[in-house]
Each structure stands twice: as structure tokens, then as C-alpha cells.
């Protein structure tokens, strides 16, 4: 999110709720894709955290707020692996969710417990998000950039196409948001 003024009144609350929903699933080294100004970094030791965002202003704020943490404008080298890859309120902004999941899962360690954690609004409340953005409760910029909202079935299908299986799913914020936790599909011998 490029500028603080572009946030809606409830944006900080929503960000905190997304973080609270995802934190129990984060272990080991964490890659925070779409980190924005780095709010998740407050909960993760600098040695375990790497934040990625394409917005230079957000990265500047993140680096100022969390100088010991590592923030990048692009994904690290493919050889750099993480136990947890997290992306909060990002997948709805991409044209190809399968490609995003495949890209991010490429940064997971080969361990049985490595996971990709994401949050995304539920499509049934898209109208609420649109109206809320119109009146300034939510980020208008974020709402306008939505490519498409995925429900549980669509998330599951996107995961399978990306070589992942949905191991945990729940809705939160009165059902308006979703948490999805994926792990790599295991080959049965």
C-alpha cells in the first residue's frame, strides 16, 4: 500500500486480525510476501524473517520501523528456503493464483511441516468490501485492485494445481475473511 492516506479507517484493524489468524501457523524461517510496511515483523525475530514488497514507500517504512529485519523488493534466490511462507490479503490481487502459489511454494523447505499460509476475503462479502471502500472504511485502492475472490473450493483447486494440499481452512471476521494453510502434496509410495 503506497500511502498511509490510502488506507481506510478499518484497515489497521483488519491487518491486525489477519496477522492474529495466521500467526499460530508460522514456524521457523518466515517469508512474508506482500509485507507492506512490515507489521508482521513485530512478531517474528529478525533472524527468522524476510519481508517482500514491490512498493518502495512501504519498504522504506518497514526498514525504518524494523531496522534489524530484512526487507526486499523481489523474492530472494530460489535456493533460499523457508519453513513458512505467508501472504496476507495478496492472492485476490493477482491474475493467476495458481502461478502465485507455485512460485511461493518453491521457497518452502523440503520438510514435512513446511507450509504456505494465506488470508483472503471471502467472495460472499465482496459487496461489503466494495461499499466499505467507497465510504472510506476499507482501502479504496486495495478494493479497486482485486482481480478475483476465491472461496474454499477455488483455493483448494488452486492449491492442487500448484502441488499443494489444503491442510487447514477457516473463516474469520464474521466469515468475511479466510485463512488457508497449504502443505506440499505428498507422493504415496
pLDDT digits (tens, 9 = 90+) for 58-84: 999 999 999 999 999 999 998 999 999
From the list 111, 129, 94, 99, the residue with the least C-alpha distance to 28 is: 111
Task: Please name the residues in contact with 113: beta carbons below 8 A apart, sequence gap of 6 or more.
Answer: 27, 83, 183
| Residue 138, in any domain of the structure | yes
| Residue 189, in any domain of the structure | no
Q: Is the pTM of this model over 0.85?
A: yes
| pLDDT higher than 90, residue 18 | yes
Q: What is the mean pLDDT of the chain?
A: 88
| Residue 88, in any domain of the structure | yes
Return the bridge partners of 171, or none: 178
Within 10 angstroms of residue 91's Cβ, the number of other Cβ atoms is: 25
Between CA 101 and CA 164 the distance in angstroms is 8
Average pLDDT over residues 88-96: 94
In which domain, by residue range, is 160 found? 4-184
Return the bridge partners of 143, or none: none
Between CA 153 and CA 161 the distance in angstroms is 12
From the list 95, 87, 144, the residue with the least C-alpha distance to 120 is: 87
Contact assessment for residue 65 and residue 57, using Cβ atoms and an 8 Å cutoff: no
Between CA 126 and CA 118 the distance in angstroms is 18
Contact assessment for residue 185 and residue 163, using Cβ atoms and an 8 Å cutoff: yes
CATH number at residue 109: 3.40.50.150
| Residue 75, in any domain of the structure | yes
pLDDT recorded at residue 11: 75
Contact assessment for residue 18 and residue 142, using Cβ atoms and an 8 Å cutoff: no
**Tally of structural domains, the chain:** 1
Between CA 155 and CA 71 the distance in angstroms is 28
| pLDDT higher than 70, residue 50 | yes
E strands of the chain, at which residues? 30-33, 49-52, 70-72, 84-88, 115-121, 164-172, 177-184
Amino acid at each position: 500500500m503506497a500511502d498511509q492516506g490510502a488506507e481506510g479507517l478499518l484497515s489497521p484493524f483488519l491487518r491486525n486480525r489477519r496477522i492474529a489468524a495466521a500467526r499460530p501457523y508460522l514456524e521457523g524461517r518466515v517469508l512474508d510476501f506482500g509485507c507492506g510496511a512490515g507489521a508482521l515483523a513485530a512478531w517474528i525475530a529478525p533472524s527468522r524473517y524476510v519481508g517482500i514488497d514491490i512498493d518502495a514507500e512501504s519498504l522504506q517504512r518497514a526498514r525504518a520501523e524494523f531496522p534489524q529485519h530484512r526487507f526486499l523488493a523481489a523474492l530472494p534466490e530460489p535456493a533460499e528456503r523457508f519453513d513458512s511462507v505467508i501472504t496476507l490479503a495478496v492472492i485476490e490481487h493477482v491474475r493467476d493464483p495458481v502461478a502465485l502459489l507455485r512460485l511461493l511454494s518453491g521457497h518452502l523447505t523440503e520438510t514435512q511441516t513446511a507450509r504456505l499460509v494465506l488470508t483472503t476475503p471471502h467472495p460472499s462479502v465482496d459487496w461489503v468490501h466494495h461499499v466499505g471502500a467507497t465510504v472510506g472504511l476499507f482501502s479504496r485502492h486495495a478494493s479497486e485492485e482485486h482481480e478475483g475472490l476465491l472461496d474454499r473450493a477455488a483455493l483448494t483447486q488452486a492449491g492442487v494445481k500448484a502441488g499443494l494440499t489444503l491442510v487447514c481452512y477457516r473463516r474469520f471476521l464474521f466469515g468475511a475473511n479466510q485463512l488457508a494453510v497449504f502443505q506440499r502434496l505428498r507422493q504415496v509410495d
